Amino acid sequence: MSPDPPPWAPRLGADPSALDTPSLIVDRQALLRNIEALMSRLGALGVSVRPHLKTAKCAEIARLLLAAGARGCCVAKLGEAEVLAEAGVGDLLITTEIAGQPKLARLTALLARHPQIKLVVDSTAGARALNDALAAARCRGEVLIDLDVGQRRTGALPGAPALELAAALAALPALQLVGVQGYEGHLQLAPDAERERDSATAMRLLTDTAAQLRAAGHRVDIVSTGGTGTAELCARHAGVTEVQPGSFVFMDGAYRRAIGTKYEHALSLVATVISAPRPREAVIDAGLKALSTDSGPAEPKGLPGMRYRPAGDEHGILSWDEGLPYAFTPGDRIELYPSHIDTTVHLHDSYHVFDAGRLVAVWPIAARGKVQ
C-alpha cells in the first residue's frame, strides 16, 4: 500500500495556489487544442504524424497524441525509448544514431522486448557495429538512413553516399532498411521566407534520394522529416510520408517569436516571490535549475513590461521600469513561459495538469534526465 500523501501535497480539484513552487503547469485544454490543430492541419495534407517526445518526455502525452491519430512517436535518446516503451509506447523511432558497446548492449535488450522500435544509421561503420550487436543477440532491427539535408549535424549525404550506405545495409542480415529520415533542424526557427525556401530544397534532397534508393531496389516505406516550424511545408512536398514535430504540444518563447500564435502556450512555470529588497525588482525562487536559458530568458505571463533574468542556480529576478503598476511581497506568485521547453522540461519531475483552474492530474515526466 502506498503511504498517504503528506497534508501539503496538492489534491485533485485544488487550484494552482496549492502547488509548491517552482512547478510546471500544463493547461490541459490548450494542450488538447494544440494537438487537434496540428493533427487536423497535417491530416488534411495526407501525411502521417510521428510526434517527437524529446519535448514532452511523458507517456501520458504520448497516449493523447496516439489517441489523436499519431502513427507512433519519435524519441531522441535510447534512455527515452527505454522508459516510454516500458510505459506502453512501443512504436518508436529513435532519431539519433546509437554507437558504442554499452549502448548497443542496452539496445539489443530493448529490441528483444520491443521489436517495432526503429533506428537510424548514417555510416557503414555504425551500421556494421549495430548489425553485429543485434546478430549476436539473435535479433533484427528496422533502420532508416539518416540524411543530412542541410543541418550539417548527423546524416549521410544525399545521393551517391546514401546509395552506398544502402548497398552496405543490404549485406547486413540483422538490419532491414525501411526508409529515410532528413531533419532540417536549422530551419525550424528561421524567418518565414527562408524557412519556406530552404525547406523546399531540403525536401528535394530527401525525396530525390528516396526515389534513387527505390530505383536501386531498396525498400523505402518511410520518408520522415520536419519539426513544429516546418511540418506543414514538408507535408505539402510530394514523397514525404511522415513528419516529426514535437514542440507544438506546449510551444515556447523561441517558437512563438518564430512562427507566431499558430499553437498556444500550454506550459508555464509557477514561481513564488521570496524577496523584494529594491524598488522595481522582485526575487523569485526560479533560477537556472528551473528554467533553461539557451534560448534567452523566460517570459512573465500576463505582465506586460515585466522582465525576468536568472540570478543564479536557485534565484531569478523580475524587473520593470518606473511607472509600471507592479508591486510584490514575499509569497506572491507569478507564471512564466519557458523560452525553450525541451531543456526546461528536462529539469522537472512532473507536470501539474489544470483544467478550468482545477488540478486534474499529475503526470510524471518519466523520460526527464534520460540523456544516455
Is 95 a binder of ligand PLP (CB under 6 A)?
yes
Q: Interface with ligand PLP by CB under 6 A: which range of 166-174, 238-246, 321-329, 349-357?
A: 238-246
Is 186 a binder of ligand PLP (CB under 6 A)?
no
Among 94, 183, 266, 337, binds ligand PLP (CB under 6 A): 183
What is the 3 state secondary structure string of 177-227? Answer: EEEEEECCHHHCCCCHHHHHHHHHHHHHHHHHHHHHHHHCCCCCCEEEECC
Cβ atoms of residues 280 and 306 within 8 Å = no
- Window 22-61: contact mask with ligand PLP (x via CB under 6 A): ------------------------------x-xx------
CB of 294 to ligand PLP, least distance (A): 12
CB of 352 to ligand PLP, least distance (A): 22
**Binders of ligand PLP: how many residues, by CB under 6 A?**
15
DSSP 260: T
Is 188 a binder of ligand PLP (CB under 6 A)?
yes
CB of 142 to ligand PLP, least distance (A): 17
Greatest Cα pair distance, the chain, in angstroms, is 72
CB of 73 to ligand PLP, least distance (A): 11
DSSP 70: -
Burial class (CB in 10 A: 0-12, 13-18, 19+), 68: middle
Among 22, 158, 161, 245, binds ligand PLP (CB under 6 A): 245
In this structure, how many other beta carbons lie within 10 angstroms of the beta carbon of residue 164? 13
Is 108 a binder of ligand PLP (CB under 6 A)?
no
| C-alpha–C-alpha distance, residues 76 and 337, integer Å | 24
Burial class (CB in 10 A: 0-12, 13-18, 19+), 247: buried
Cell 500544463 identifies what position?
A: 26
CB of 183 to ligand PLP, least distance (A): 4
Is 344 a binder of ligand PLP (CB under 6 A)?
no
Is 126 a binder of ligand PLP (CB under 6 A)?
no
**Does residue 121 sit in helix, strand or coil?**
strand
Q: Given the rule CB under 6 A, which residues bind ligand PLP?
A: 52, 54-55, 74, 76, 95, 183, 185, 188, 227-228, 244-247
